[in-house]
Every structure is written in structure tokens, then in C-alpha cells.
Amino acid sequence: MKHTPLYPILLIAGLLLISCNESKKQEKKIPSEVTLSKETLMDKIKGGWAGQAIGCTYGGPTEFRYQGGMIHDYVPIDWEKGNMKWWYENVPGLYDDIYMDLTFVDVFERLGLDAPVDSFAMAFATAGYTLWHANQSARYNILQGIMPPESGHWLNNPHADDIDYQIEADYAGLMTPGMPNTASEISDKIGHIMNYGDGWYGGVYVGAMYSLAFVSDDIEFIVTEALKTIPVESSFYKAMNDVIGWHKQYPDDWKQTWFECECKWSQDIGCPDGVFSPFNIDALINSAYIIIGLLYGEGDFFKTMDIATRCGQDSDCNPASAAGILGTMMGYGNIPAKWMDNLKEVEDMDFAYTTISLNDAYRMSLNHALQLVGRNNGKVTDNEVTIAYQQPVPVRYEKSFEGLFPVKKTAVNKSVTEVDSLTFNGTGIVVKGHVQSGNPAYVAQLEVYIDGALSEVAQLPASYITRRNDITWKYQLPKADHNVTFKWLNPEKDSRIQITETIIYSDSNTQDK
């Protein structure tokens, strides 16, 4: 009688056991109703805000100092006594993640949960803080009368895929415990003020992870389940799914997963500052760093925050999101004292540009969460909250910069008066630059002609607060040779419109020779 070798049988049995265990993990379900004490709900809300503030502070000194490279283990990242208070008092702009959130929280507090999108848009556009990238482009658009969702659309906003709403979406998850679809509805309204496509998906995903962190203590489940809010055909979904898969393939080596991510997903085609550059403020890559931190952090507060920081790029925002999600899951009372001692020094201090402190934010988010639980088939009693859990469903599919491929970046570095014309072959162009003037109220008016036809009359404020990020841009041109010329309508003494460089797009990755 012929005997079957034992080793293949054992191997198959082992593989079946692994597969069975994986299936059990994937089959994990949240009950249709989840009951929390009000004390626990508040503890988790406080943990989310506290984690965000601590993570932002921890990563602050490294922000964008490591572009296209990780922060190696031998590089010290210090956490000294009193450092949060120092940042609050000396570099309050570090906390733009949080005071941007609080702009929206404040509108909900003043005008109610049904406040119209224009109220959020105007509050953010007229605030006194400095903005960058998608946020600044949206502020400019709103002040020029281009309201959401058009203010965040990629045809009106070259920074539409940038990280902006992703770093501001924490509030949406913190006010929707166990209700990720309600978080998505809030993000649909507010996230499209400044973003579109993958840039919007970053905020949807972060909001869903916060929401799920109220009802699950399994980080891998939270990361995977929240991804169900993102359309599977999107690049954002594919990238996050890859990270989840690489984590399974390299469970003990976050650096290998980081490397795989860099090889496949680090290209930036939208942001004019990130095209053909190691700088990458795209939501997709930075969201990948958030979940690398969460997955490899394995529920450890420091490890999660440290890995998310050491992935580089926007290395204060990413640990802020990762630590905020984990802080929600574990609760304020379970964050180690090492991190809380500094936090407690600032909890009563208002964030810059606001009259809101962390203690105020805790209270406001609890108020909003209780209202939303009641609105969404849940129950609120004197001591308990019963949440009607929502199975995550995907938001609609949208894609920025469809069919556009950057093919060339050219330095110009001339005044607009020194540029006779800009010529290119392709389907789109972004002209980068800025206005210089001794008069901060000056607004340059610039006629832009493409192939002899007036494309726009660009209004270009000299003020950094209200500036236009880019001089002009035009997408979806026919593939051909094109010519761009300018006419400065209102030149003023001691003023200058400086063109720094151009980015050319085509309909494929290579230009015709």
C-alpha cells in the first residue's frame, strides 16, 4: 500500500488553520446595538481629542523634514516636561489640525446640527489663521464667490487631493460614535469645501475609524472595517488595502511595508508643489502612514504614534490622527501618564484663533454625539447611551485629475512683465507664482490668454492670508501645442507678479518625441 507523505498533509492542515483564523477575524461583527455609559462615552471622546493633541505635539519638530525618507530609529524625538505648553505659547500654528476641527465644531455648537454648508465655508474662509494647499485654495475660491462643493473640486482647486480634510475630519468621527455612515454624511458636506476624490476619501476614512473606535477594541478590525466606506475602485481604497495586505505579509516589519508603499503609491500628480518632488502632502500616502502606525503599533500608544511619525512627510498630522483614533478606542483614562502630564497643563488654554480649549471641545463633542445618537435610532438615558450601530457602506466614487499625467516641470523665475509667452504641448498647465507688494491690500488683476482666447481674469491678492496658491491653471485642453500669454491690468509701484515655474500635463505618461 502506498503511503501519502506526512509533511504535505501537515502543511495543508496548517494553511487551513491559518485561513480559518483569518476568516474568523473577518467575520467579527459589532452588535446591532451597543450600550455605553455616558461616562465611558465622554472618556472616549476625551481620549480622541487628547490623542490628537499629543500626537501633533510629538511629531511637530519633524513635520516635512523627512520627505521621501523615513525617520530612522537612531534619530531622537524628545518628549520633555512642559513641551505642549511651550508649543501652545510659542508656535500655536502647530495645532492647525485641531483649530481647523474646532471651526466646524463651533458652527455646529452655534447653529445646530443642520447648519448649512455655507456657514461652515464662510467661518473657515474668514478666520484669521493662515492656510495652505487645498484649504487655502478653497478659502480663495469662497472669497471669490465659488462656494462648496465647487470650491474643493479639482477643476477649481489644484490641491484637491491634498491632506487638508483628512487632518480636520477627527470631529466628524468623535460626534458619531458607532455611526460611520453618519460621519460620512457630515464629511460629504464639509469635506467638499476643500477637497475632492482621494483628498476627500482621506477624511471619510479617518472619520470612520474614529467612529468605529467607540465600539471596537480591535485596531485591525477598525482599520479594515472603516475602509468599507471607500469605493473599491478608487486609488485610495487600493492603497489602504495594499497596506493592510503588506501588514499581513510582513507582520513584524513596518519598514518593509513603508518601502512597498513608497514604491507603489508615493507619486503625486495633483499638488503643484509635490509633482516631481520628494515632497508629498497627498492624502493617500499620508493616510497610509496613519494605518501603518495603527497596525504596527498594536494598540500601544507610544509605538503607534512613533511609527506614524517616523514614516515621514506630514509627520505631525499623521501621528495626531493615529493617536486620536487609538485614544478614542482606549479612552482618556488609559492613556499613559507620561503623555497626560503635559496635556493637563494646556487643557484649559484656548487654541490660537479660537475661544475654545480642549475641555470645551470635550463638552461640545459629547453634546453633538448625544444628539446624533438620538437622531439615528439610538437611545439616551440619564446614565447610558445605546447606539444603533451602522454597518459601513461606501460613499460615491469620484476621481480628481482624471486622465491627466504630469510630464514636465520648468523653472521660470521671472516677473510676468518679462514673460512674453509660455508654450507647451499637452492637455493642461499650472503656472505657479506669487504677488509681491508693499501694499498688503493690493489685488493684482491679470488677464490670462490661452491660444489667444481669454481664459480668465485672475484676481491675485498680495495678502498671504487671502492669496491664490497658484497664478493660474487650466486642465482638459485638447492634446496640442498651446500658448499662454498675460496682460497685467493694474500694475502698481513696488508690486510684482512673480512666475516661479510651470507644470505641464498630457494624456499619457510620455510625450510625443
Q: Is residue 221 within 8 Å of residue 243, measured between CB atoms?
A: no
Report long-range pairs for 371-380 (Cβ below 8 Å, ≥24 apart).
371/113, 372/113, 372/175, 372/176, 372/179, 372/182, 373/177, 373/179, 375/113, 376/179, 376/182, 378/33
The amino acid at residue 425 is N
Residue 391 has pLDDT above 50, yes or no: yes
Q: Beta strand 495-506 with 405-415: parallel, antiparallel or unpaired?
A: antiparallel
| CB atoms closer than 10 angstroms to residue 316 | 23
C-alpha dihedral (100, 105, 107, 113), degrees to nearest 10: 140
- How many residues in total does the chain contain? 513
| CB atoms closer than 10 angstroms to residue 92 | 16
Taking CA atoms, 393 is separated from 25, 205, 230, 293, 479, in Å, by 19, 11, 8, 24, 38
Residue 426 has pLDDT above 80, yes or no: yes
Give me the pLDDT at residue 29, please. 85
Provide the pLDDT confidence category of residue 509 given band limits of 50, 70 and 90.
confident
Mean pLDDT of 464-476: 98
Of 55, 101, 100, 92, which is closest to residue 320 (Cα–Cα)?
55
Residue 323, burial from CB neighbour count under 10 angstroms (0-12, 13-18, 19+): buried
Give me the pLDDT at residue 50, please. 98
Residue 116 has pLDDT above 90, yes or no: yes
What is the rounded distance in angstroms from the CA atom of residue 219 to the CA atom of residue 290?
12
Give me the pLDDT at residue 209, please. 98
Does the pTM of the predicted model rise above 0.75?
Answer: yes
Of 173, 227, 226, 212, which is closest to residue 30 (Cα–Cα)?
212
Taking CA atoms, 392 is separated from 44, 182, 185, 207, 279, in Å, by 20, 10, 12, 12, 33
The amino acid at residue 392 is P
What is the rounded distance in angstroms from the CA atom of residue 441 to the CA atom of residue 156?
24
DSSP per-residue string spanning 8-30: HHHHHHHHHHHHHHHHHHHT---
Cis peptide bond prior to 177, omega within 30° of 0? no
Residue 149 has pLDDT above 90, yes or no: yes
Query: For 304-349, how does the pLDDT look when each residue is reduced to its tens digit (9 = 90+)?
Result: 999 999 999 999 999 999 999 999 999 999 999 999 999 999 999 9
Q: What mean pLDDT value characterizes the chain?
A: 94
Residue 9 has pLDDT above 50, yes or no: no
What percent of the chain has pLDDT above 70? 94
What is the rounded distance in angstroms from the CA atom of residue 123 to the CA atom of residue 115?
12
Residue spans of beta strands (DSSP E) within 327-452: 379-380, 384-388, 405-415, 422-426, 428-437, 443-450
Can you list the alpha helix ranges (DSSP code H) found in 312-417?
317-330, 337-344, 358-375
Of 317, 325, 315, which is closest to residue 47 (Cα–Cα)?
325
Residue 497: beta bridge partners? 435
Residue 40 has pLDDT above 80, yes or no: yes
Give me the pLDDT at residue 510, please. 66
Give me the pLDDT at residue 513, please. 41
Q: Is residue 307 within 8 Å of residue 297, measured between CB atoms?
A: yes
All three cell numbers of 41, joined, read: 462615552
DSSP per-residue string spanning 322-337: HHHHHHHHH-GGGS-H
What is the rounded distance in angstroms from the CA atom of residue 325 to the CA atom of residue 311?
17
Give me the pLDDT at residue 11, please. 43
Query: For 43-55, how does the pLDDT look when each residue is reduced to its tens digit (9 = 90+)?
Result: 999 999 999 999 9
Residue 156 has pLDDT above 80, yes or no: yes
Of 205, 223, 230, which is closest to residue 292 (Cα–Cα)?
223
What is the rounded distance in angstroms from the CA atom of residue 415 to the CA atom of residue 436?
10
Through-space distance between the first and last CA atoms of the chain, rounded to whole angstroms: 70
- Coil/strand/helix, residue 508: coil
Q: Which residues contact 477 (CB under 8 A, 6 or more apart)?
A: 426, 427, 428, 429, 450
- Coil/strand/helix, residue 488: strand
Give me the pLDDT at residue 24, please. 47
Residue ranges and CATH numbers for the domains of the chain are: 30-388 (1.10.4080.10), 405-506 (2.60.120.260)
Provide the pLDDT confidence category of residue 28 given band limits of 50, 70 and 90.
confident
The amino acid at residue 129 is Y
Q: Is residue 227 within 8 Å of residue 212, measured between CB atoms?
A: no
What is the rounded distance in angstroms from the CA atom of residue 513 to the CA atom of residue 496?
36
| CB atoms closer than 10 angstroms to residue 343 | 19
